[in-house]
Structure 1
């Protein structure tokens, strides 16, 4: 059995469609489209050395991987490789071939610490551990039925608080970037991240084809942006990228207000499913999402391996 690993060619629709088919089968809790995959390849930061890969067996694409250097971390030598194989096609060598290609690609670019997300299933965890990876932290995929489920009602806003859609910042999204850059510093993670390049953030986040300023909410307190939730959309599916509050405004329930407001507007816009994710140690955000009605859909575990 021969496994052929190829880099996704963003200009080839068949490549991006095959990548998305595998991802939707293996990990349906994250929004991908052929357009978003092509965009991610074309607009990645040069320092990321980013690649999207597919693995083909007997003429059929059955595996996928995303590979990149953590260019936005202050610590050098860190990389990420996330491998997913179609659930009906495991055991045919696609995962091994993809991981081997990913490790070689990153090692050649100076990566010595490689992180990967692994679905919390015995076979997947055993796959990683046989290859020298060690388990670290867990993360939850959460799902919410917007079509039939109830949302918490919108209550009166505290004095001085205004909830504004992301479209209000279309001419100048810099305040949203500032909020994202501040809150990412406190997000639980194995790898510290810093958003220092505004133009790259615009490409990665604000101008991304899945980005939905209409379903993004920013809480403004006495004229100052204080909290936010960033929304993405693919048809009837609504996804939250990031929700956070500036340090000076924490403890006032602003993240909850933003999240609930965005969910109400997503439902009004015709979305029937809401998706998000949480680090298992992020108690405050898990509490907000539980209050909103989200339920755990799956769990991933982050693994790490030293390449050198």
Structure 2
């Protein structure tokens, strides 16, 4: 059966649902919905040249690709190619077609180095290497059983610190933007990040349909956010940590544990049964925090890179 690759469009509901279905089957550790896909398509910054793709066979979506330039990086020419094929439809050429279309698109927009996350499984790694990608750093997906696991006891904040929710910043989220920008720039990774565009952050991050402002938790010290955990939920049973960070001036005080613990307790009370997160293997402090909560590694992925001639 012939496999065709086409652009994902925000008005193509069947393709959006198919994209989400394939991603959940291939990568069940990350939250993604048709509505979140449509949001990304319509809100992503133009400089990202964002172009999600679907591979279709017999009218069914069997493969996906998320393709964009790292426009928030101070180093130009870096692109991202993340391809996933439904486990029941591999070895049909869908992955190769998606990679080719993605690479051509990014090269046309000036990309000289491409990065791809690949699940640490022999078949996936061999596929990446056949297409000229070489292995680099790694990251881990972690899962916490909220329904049956034991969370650490709730603790009150230290003197001078109070806990708030993201909803408390609905009228003016700019202080959270400043904290997100500071902490994101310190995250270990291949691609540096500099958040400088507040309006773009509002559209892409603050207004994201998965962002749960009631479970997003912020520690405030001296009147300003000092630590936060941003939370995505699927509105049903799945909870995901989108970002956890502490301002440089407040690190070493246990504030990341404080905000995350408060959020996880509220999530469990609200009926969420699974919590997911992910960490670069070089992020020892955050891995230790998640181990303290009882998160267990459920998968590992490897960052592959290809230099374009």
Instruction: Provide TM-score, normalisation by structure 2.
Output: 0.98
Q: How does 1:132-211 map to 2 (within 5 A)?
A: 132-211=132-211
Task: Specify every segment of 5 or more residues in structure 2 that has no aligned partner in the other structure, as ranges.
Answer: none
Aligned residue-pair number:
308
- CA deviations on 1:118-139 (whole Å, 9 max, x unpaired) are 0000000000011110111101
Shift of 1:299: 0.7
SS of residue in 1 equivalent to 2:52: strand
For residues 36 and 191 of structure 1, what CA distance do their matches in structure 2 show?
23
Shift of 1:256: 0.7
Alignment-derived partner of residue 267 in structure 1 = 268
The RMSD of aligned alpha carbons is 0.9
Shift of 1:61: 1.4
Q: Hey, what's the Cα distance between the residues in 2 that align with 1:269 and 1:283?
A: 30
SS at match of 1:241: strand
Deviation by residue 1:139-167 (Cα, 9 ceiling, x = unmatched):
11111111111110112321111111111
Moved more, 151-160 or 11-20: 151-160
SS at match of 1:213: coil
- Counterpart check, 1:76 vs 2:76: yes
DSSP-derived class of the 1:303 partner: strand
CA distance in 1, matches of 2:222, 2:47: 39
Per-residue CA deviation, residues 232-275 of structure 1 (Å, 9 max, x unaligned), is 11021111110000000111110111111111111111111111
Asked if the contact 2:54/2:63 (under 8 Å) is kept, the reply is: yes
Per the TM alignment, residue 51 of structure 1 is displaced from its structure 2 partner at its CA by 1.2
Counterpart in the other structure of 1:305: 306
Aligned residue for 2:214, secondary structure, equals helix
In the alignment, is the contact (CA less than 8 A) between 2:15 and 2:61 conserved in 1? no
- Secondary structure in structure 2 of the residue aligned to 1:219: strand
Aligned to 1:103: 103
Task: Spell out, residue by residue over 1:28-58, the C-alpha distance to the aligned partner (whole angstroms, 9 max, x if none).
Answer: 0000111111111111100001011110123
Moved runs in structure 1, 4+ residues, more than 6 A?
none
Q: Does 1:232 align with 2:232?
A: yes
- Tell me, which stretches of 5 or more residues in structure 1 are unaligned? none
SS in 2 for 1:195: coil
Q: Which deviates more, 215-224 or 82-91?
A: 215-224
* 1:201-251 deviation per Cα after TM superposition (whole angstroms, max 9, x unaligned): 111111001111101010012322100000111021111110000000111
Separation of aligned partners in 2, 1:42 and 1:81: 19
